[in-house]
Amino acid sequence: MLERIVVGRDRFDLKEMGDRGTVFIGKHIVGSGEDAHLTNPVMLDVARPHIILVCGKRGSGKSYSAGVIAEEMITLPDEIRNNLSIIMIDTMGIYWSMKMPNDKERETLEKWGLQPKGMTGMRFFVPKGYAKKYDELGIEYDAVFTLPCSEISGQDWCLAFGFSMIGDHGLLIQRVVKKLKSREKYSIDDIIEEVGRDSKAEQKVKDAVSSRFLSAKDWGVFEKEGTPAAEFMKPGGIAVIDISHYLRSSAGWSVRSMVIGMLSRRVFQERVASRKAEEMEAITGEERKHAPMVWMMIDEAHQFIPNEGETAASEPILTLVKEGREPGISLLLITQMPNKLNREALAQTDIVISHRLTSKADIESLRSIMQSYMKEDIAAYINSLPRQKGAAIIMDDNSERVYTVQIRPRMSWHAGGSPKAIKEKGLF
Ligand X SMILES: Nc1ncnc2c1ncn2[C@@H]1O[C@H](COP(=O)(O)OP(=O)(O)O)[C@@H](O)[C@H]1O
Residues at the interface with ligand X (CB under 6 A): 56, 58-64, 389-390, 407, 409, 414, 416-417
Alpha-carbon dihedral sign for residues 13, 19, 24, 29: positive
- Least distance from Mg ion to the Cβ atom of residue 58, Å: 7
- Burial degree of 141 (CB within 10 A; 0-12, 13-18, 19+): middle
What gap in Å lies between CA 344 and CA 322, rounded to an integer? 9
Cβ partners under 8 Å of residue 308, min gap 6: 340
Residues 6+ apart with CB under 8 A from 76: 23, 46, 84, 236
Name the residue number minimizing CB distance to Mg ion.
63
Nearer to Mg ion, 45 or 90 (CB): 90
Return the number of the residue (244 or 398) whose C-beta is nearest Mg ion.
244
Residue 409 touches which of Mg ion, ligand X, none (Cβ within 5-8 Å per kind): ligand X
- 238-242 and 122-127 beta bridge pairing: parallel
Q: How many CA atoms lie within 13 A of 426 on its CB side?
A: 15
| CB-nearer residue toward Mg ion: 63 or 85 | 63
CA distance 204 to 323: 43
Comparing CA positions, the residue from 120, 117, 112 lying closest to residue 409 is 112
Of the candidates 265, 296, 235, the one whose C-alpha atom is nearest the C-alpha of residue 148 is: 265
The answer to whether 236 and 81 are in contact (CB under 8 A) is yes
**Which span sits near Mg ion by CB under 5 A: 56-64, 149-157, 158-166, 344-352?**
56-64
Instruction: Choose among ligand X, Mg ion, none what residue 154 binds, the Cβ cut-off being 5 to 8 Å by kind.
Output: none
Q: Are strands 293-298 and 238-242 parallel, antiparallel or unpaired?
A: unpaired
Could you say which of Mg ion, ligand X, none residue 167 binds, taking C-beta under 5 to 8 angstroms by partner kind?
none
The nearer residue to ligand X, 26 or 220, going by C-beta atoms, is 26
With binding defined as CB under 5 A, does residue 63 bind Mg ion? yes
Residue 389 binds what, of ligand X, Mg ion, none (CB under 5 to 8 Å, by partner type)?
A: ligand X
Pick the closer one to ligand X by CB: 324 or 386.
386
In the complex with ligand X, the residue whose CB is nearer, 28 or 414, is 414
- The nearest distance, CB 232 to ligand X, in angstroms, is 23
Which region, judged by CB under 5 A, interacts with Mg ion, from 63-71, 277-285, 310-318, 338-346? 63-71
User: Which among 54-62, 192-200, 256-264, 393-401 is the span making contact with Mg ion, rule CB under 5 A?
Assistant: 54-62
Binding site for Mg ion (CB under 5 A): 62-63
